[in-house]
Amino acid sequence: TQLLEQSPQFLSIQEGENLTVYCNSSSVFSSLQWYRQEPGEGPVLLVTVVTGGEVKKLKRLTFQFGDARKDSSLHITAAQPGDTGLYLCAGGVLGQDRGSTLGRLYFGRGTQLTVWP
C-alpha cells in the first residue's frame, strides 16, 4: 500500500498545453517535496512546501500544499518538451515528539510526463 498516491500515472501532451498532477494521502505530512527524475539519474529536488495552503511558483510550475497537509498538486503552464520526465512527490512524516521529523521520505510512484513538440 502506497502512503502517497499520484495521478495520473502517465500523461502525454502537446507542447503549449497546461497540466496538473496530483499527490494524495490520508496521512498528514510535515512537508511535501516534489522531484523530477530523468531516466538513469537520481531525482532532482524542485520544491519543498511546509505550510498548509502554501503555494510556490517556479517559473511555469506552480506547487500547492493542501490545507490539511495531506495532499499536493503540481500545475505546469505552457508545457515544453524539456519538462518531460518522471515527477515524484515525497512526504516527510511527523515524529512522535511534537515538532520532530523522522528521517525517511515516503515517495509516490510518480507521474511520467511526455511533452511532444
What are the residues binding another protein (CB under 8 A)? 4, 30-31, 33, 35, 40-45, 48, 88, 90, 92, 101-110
Least distance CB 36 / another protein (angstroms): 11
Q: How far is the CB of 106 from another protein (least distance, A)?
A: 8
Find the shortest distance in angstroms from Cβ 108 to another protein: 5
Report the C-alpha dihedral over residues 117, 90, 67, 95, rounded to 10 degrees. -170
**C-alpha–C-alpha distance, residues 42 and 80, integer Å:** 21
Question: What is the CB neighbour count within 10 angstroms for residue 9?
Answer: 12
Q: Nearer Cβ to another protein, position 78 or 102?
A: 102
